[in-house]
Structure 1
């Protein structure tokens, strides 16, 4: 099969499209013929080995794993002898390491679910990681309830576009923060209010929010706490802060501060799972969740796609067709 591979940390030009063996199929495995995959910030972090602290897991000087990509949508090609939840021919979507490839193998118990009816493979592939991040942040960590007010910083990005829609589905009053060129997009997703950050500082509007989901990390935590209600929740979801400190330093700081203030400052890591993929499928089929896809690239153009996402101004999702 054809697959994207990298054998050293570095910029997108270290990526190559190679011929390699199909993944082995375990007794509890599902072999998926990938039709589409999507790019996430984690792809370029893995590619560059940045922040360096992550290399303790991914490999100190060279990557231990050579594939990239996490999200996918496709058709089940074959299943192991112990699999009962899927059958060849099923259309599925979910997560698997190395999804920038023609085939991936996923355990039956892994993050895999039936593709939303009516979605193209490209639309389905745009959903898994970003939408699960938004869902788990708002539902589980933010404990968002109907009637509450939520602000989404970075509302036009991959996670932000899903967060706006999910917050509306949960019955919240939503304010989205984005650049001027994306104001109408964010409003079309259901945002009740949109702040153009080039014209207005969202931390100085005088409005208060029950939940702030920060996908950008471009303001001090103290500034973001200022716009929270007395017992409001600040959710940090950004890798900003420096190569060595990065997201780890900000998480540690929030964890310590959380011990001494009334505001809730929980940290979280997305847990990809089949149950939440089923929840998202139901919302999609009910018309409450639609991915925003800025552009698509063929498998051979993964380096360009990752470079575009790394620059930080992608609108919604960038999808790879396979």
Structure 2
């Protein structure tokens, strides 16, 4: 375990040495990730950014694209606790947050914390759980706490939720409400591996790579993760960049002058101010990944689809005309002047 250093105070100027140390931590996490996960560079970046900002990620893909492996590897890379919850229609809130259990020997109730009390929680097929169970997760994600028998239990720090949903099967699912979607920092859509990547997956299985320890020196401590989060908060964000972020988000709201009449008519609902906050956090994290103490417009643009694809709601006309959310997002960025 590397020596702990105090997190940079928001009041003092962020030094290049702070960012250099943070960048080294990010690279070690990336080394751990790449040792077990083949390809999926966008997924790696999204998970690291979520870790750096304390956000949550919604993962969408068909089964078998290493979502569980990626989440478990990230937990191993930072010496964090990891739990996986398989969501089903009969899953109850108590199955996630915990409950009080009666002890006949003592005649008293004891509190048993649920699997959500971990640094990294993988909610597999979150849209298969009922609305009541989803609301329990909503409190955990937003408030960073659970309530059991009237007693508040703080969640560990860092706390990152990685929720998955299958876009193919819709039978027996409960669509996530907009309020809960908005609380995910990013939405990442995973794609199939290339021919070469799939061969590499087979080779790694033959070599039993997935059962081996992570490369020596690639793991980081939870203290280093907290240091990393402190560095991100200290990255300089110019007022012109803030204005750019707000202009982008406001351009997604109907009626949108930026999109014009053709694309503007496809919007039902635009992004909330939480999208502006997310752009600010993500841009700062990407600046650290790039080794800078300040944000540039490219940091705002890099993960634009992941930030906005679950926050913009298109109408049926857009579906019938085969207009995707990503097309609308690209149009918003193309129409908004870059500082």
For normalisation by structure 2, the TM-score amounts to 0.26
Task: Identify, as 1 or 2, the structure richer in helix.
Answer: 2
Q: Greater Rg, structure 1 or structure 2?
A: 2
Is the strand fraction higher in 1 or 2? 1
Provide TM-score, normalisation by structure 1: 0.27
Q: Which has the higher contact order (CA 8 A, sep 6+)?
A: 2
